[in-house]
Chains A and B, each alone.
Chain A
Amino acid sequence: MATKVIMPKLSPTMEEGQISRWLKKEGDKVSMGEPLAEIDTDKATMEMQALGNGVLRKILIGEGQSAPLGQLIAVIGEPDEDIAALLSEAPAQPQVQDQKEADVPPKAPDVAQPQPQLQDQKEADRPPSAPNLAPANGRQPEAAGSGRMIVSPLAARMAAEAGIDLRSLQGSGPGGRIIKRDIEAVISKPKAAPAPSYVQQAGASAYRDEPASQIRQTIAKRLVTSLGPVPHFFLTTEIEMDRAAEMRKGINALDPDLKISINDIIIKVAAAALIQHPQVNASFQEKIVRYYEHADVGVAVAIEDGLITPVVRAADQKSLSQIAGEVRELAERARSKRLKPEEYTGATFSVSNLGMFGIDEFTAVINPPEGAILAIGAMSAKPVVRENEIVIRQMMRVTMSCDHRVIDGATGAKFLQTFKKILENPLYLVV
């Protein structure tokens, strides 16, 4: 019997998916649980598994094309089965198909070829179990149709405890069931980097090509829309941090559980300064300038294969302890890739801190459509002149990148002045 392949729900927020590439061609044999295609969601590329056995009879959505959840995107069936009735269910998309074929005709053969070993490996690993099971049990695990994930109870519990997203896994059990050993494989080697094979070339350095991850591609796309089209200018100032550091120590001494960091104080101070300077808490959007009521501060977090900026909403209205708790929780989930899209988009201003790497100062690239970003350097003891005497102070250099379309030099400078004033005298926060 023919199996409908529909666009599966691969993330909780996904509404449509884009076919990144088909791993099978029309006419290829497929069996239950085999990877069929790679699908791009907003933040990740996920493998879609076949939920039936037979031949990939028809691909309805080509590479690079999108389809909403639940839409028929392909049909698996017997080689000689009549699938006309199924195909008639599909929304008419002949041009899409034609366009795709006209645009990239040489691509089709590429599809299956780039990863022949991968396929073979999988073949060796898995399929024997699925067919073998059928006679033993008299039936296949019920997974067909709904795009439902099959996972053993133990594996589900282990994944929940380890914070592993089951959708990111390929099950090695019968019918693609995710089992204990699949979870253990992820836990034991968090990044099972496939042994990199380097391309040797005479007279030049060897190299290896790795497909850019979805997040890397997103970073690239976003940033060329920034530094190119967005006219940046940079303002740098040096801030005396002794009082802020003292305040942090004082607060944490009150309650060691608070664990307030200097960065949390910076977020709080930036939010306060933004409210005083609404021109900076703004965004240039073609014919309008948008001013925001609250300071939603994005905090750049380095993750395994890139960076992401979870947002502290309305930081101007939150207490330091709230900000600290939220940042810690968001950063943790960012590292395990469990942020929801609404948690890392729509900031009004961002803070990027490389102080922990000993960077004295740097410039950051604006995350459009935000109007500015503040780059924080390391805090270090330096000799400075105070009342004609050389004294030692904790100094920190910050550089603000501004979008000149909304923020002028003087506007930015005034904001930075306020920021510096509050940070040097954090008592202003309570005044």
Chain B
Amino acid sequence: MAIITIREALNQALREELARDEKVFLMGEEVAEYDGAYKVTKGLLHEFGSKRVIDTPITELGFAGLGVGAAMAGLRPVIEFMTFNFSILATDQIINSAAKMLYMSGGQFNIPIVFRGPSGSAYQVSSQHSQAIESWYAYFPGLKVVMPSTPADAKGLLKSAIRDDDPVIFMEQERMYGQKGEVPDDPDFTIPLGVADVKREGTDVTIVARSLTVPLALKAAEQLQEQGVSCEVIDPRTIRPLDIDTIITSVKKTNRVVIAEESHPICGVGAEISAQLMERAFDYLDAPVKRVSGVDVPMPYAKNLENLAIPDVNRIVAAVREVAYLD
């Protein structure tokens, strides 16, 4: 198995799917000539040509709509948002067209489209360019929402997303493109959507983490192990559909849950997981479910404040100790 970055893993997935199925094409701002703002589409224009890898003007609502139309016509577009902050402009096409077309056409039109790009906090780009909005998209029936945290997950899940017949929101983490990890060499390696992954096994506390907080949770688990607390770290990987069963199985073992997420707490994915645990695992909880979320403020620009607004290892450790009744 090769050790590569998340950036390279995504690039491999796109290349393999472009080669595998000629209906697949890429479209977005700077994806072709410039190799992508984050270099995820590096070399693909050269390899597949300008019919398959297409630069667009700065018109998110427009090219998202083009993608939905292409998907209705039988193609498999992969639309890149330079960041998901700009997808906010395209939400009418994503939510009102892509998500609802299959339902409103009485099953006549599948929309096999992927909207992908970086999301979550970046480094000092302030409030408008540094936010986690997965709960927006996870809210709507008709959409699938994927958030990988490792190179292998990124590759396997992106390939599944492109092959999926429904619209998939594929959220990469802006800070994590350089993260390295082992990726299977098999060109047909995929990971099914909707299946959580136990990133670390443990017995005392379950930490549910996604995207940026997965490596933080794993570091916290290591520190806690030295303090005699065994943590199980679960990455749902797909937010919708959510693999709540894997989380519940873990909670039945550990009886305590910490949810780590960089998004705001109110109406967030953590709130949803917490509610489902209350409904389905109440009798197994020995402590209230504890969230470690991004702070409920617009992301500050100042470095020191930005650090305080994003979950870190210490906050996860403290939350675990609290639900384990250690302090």
Chain B residues, CB < 8 A from A156: 283
Q: Does A88 contact B (CB under 8 A)?
A: no
Contact among B284, B322, B325, B327 for A154, CB-based, below 8 A: B284
Residue of B255, B282, B284, B325 with most chain A CB atoms under a 10 A cut-off: B325
* Contact segment of A128-136, A217-225, A247-255: A128-136
Given contacts A153-B282, A154-B286, A155-B286, contact A129 B325 (CB under 8 A): yes
Given contacts A152-B287, A155-B286, contact A172 B327 (CB under 8 A): no
**Chain B residue at minimum C-beta to C-beta distance from A132:** B327
> A274 vs B255: C-alpha distance in the bound complex, in angstroms?
56
> A136 vs B284: C-alpha distance in the bound complex, in angstroms?
24
> A129 vs B286: C-alpha distance in the bound complex, in angstroms?
16
Q: Does A181 contact B (CB under 8 A)?
A: yes
Contact among A132, A136, A152, A174 for B286, CB-based, below 8 A: A152
Interface size on A, residues (CB 8 A): 17
Least CB distance, B199 to chain A, in whole angstroms: 24
Which residues of chain B (107-166) have a CB below 8 Å from chain A?
none
> A132 vs B319: C-alpha distance in the bound complex, in angstroms?
12
Q: In the bound complex, do residue A153 and residue B283 qualify as a contact, i.e. CB atoms below 8 Å apart? A: yes
Q: In the bound complex, do residue A129 and residue B282 qualify as a contact, i.e. CB atoms below 8 Å apart? A: no
Given contacts A136-B322, A154-B255, contact A180 B286 (CB under 8 A): yes
Chain A residues, CB < 8 A from B285: 152-154
Least CB distance, A219 to chain B, in whole angstroms: 38
Q: Does A318 contact B (CB under 8 A)?
A: no
Least CB distance, B52 to chain A, in whole angstroms: 53
Q: In the bound complex, do residue A179 and residue B283 qualify as a contact, i.e. CB atoms below 8 Å apart? A: no
Residue of A129, A153, A156, A157 with most chain B CB atoms under a 10 A cut-off: A153
Given contacts A128-B327, A132-B327, contact A157 B322 (CB under 8 A): no
Chain B residues, CB < 8 A from A179: 286-287, 325
> A154 vs B255: C-alpha distance in the bound complex, in angstroms?
7
Chain A residues, CB < 8 A from B322: 133, 136
Q: Does A33 contact B (CB under 8 A)?
A: no
Which residues of chain A (121-159) have a CB below 8 Å from chain B?
128-129, 132-133, 136, 152-157
Q: In the bound complex, do residue A153 and residue B327 qualify as a contact, i.e. CB atoms below 8 Å apart? A: no
Least CB distance, A170 to chain B, in whole angstroms: 14
> A173 vs B282: C-alpha distance in the bound complex, in angstroms?
18
Q: In the bound complex, do residue A181 and residue B325 qualify as a contact, i.e. CB atoms below 8 Å apart? A: yes
Least CB distance, A154 to chain B, in whole angstroms: 4
> A201 vs B17: C-alpha distance in the bound complex, in angstroms?
89
Least CB distance, B201 to chain A, in whole angstroms: 20
Q: Could you pull out 29 A-B pairs where Cβ atoms are within 8 angstroms? A: A128-B327, A129-B325, A129-B327, A132-B327, A133-B322, A136-B322, A152-B285, A152-B286, A152-B287, A153-B282, A153-B283, A153-B284, A153-B285, A154-B255, A154-B283, A154-B284, A154-B285, A155-B286, A157-B283, A172-B325, A173-B287, A173-B325, A174-B325, A179-B286, A179-B287, A179-B325, A180-B255, A180-B286, A181-B325
Q: Which 5 pairs of residues, A with B, have the shortest CB-CB distance?
A: A154-B286, A180-B286, A152-B286, A157-B283, A153-B282
**Interface contacts beyond A154-B255, A179-B287: sample of 7 additional A-B pairs, CB < 8 Å, sorted by A:** A129-B325, A153-B282, A154-B285, A154-B286, A157-B283, A157-B284, A180-B286
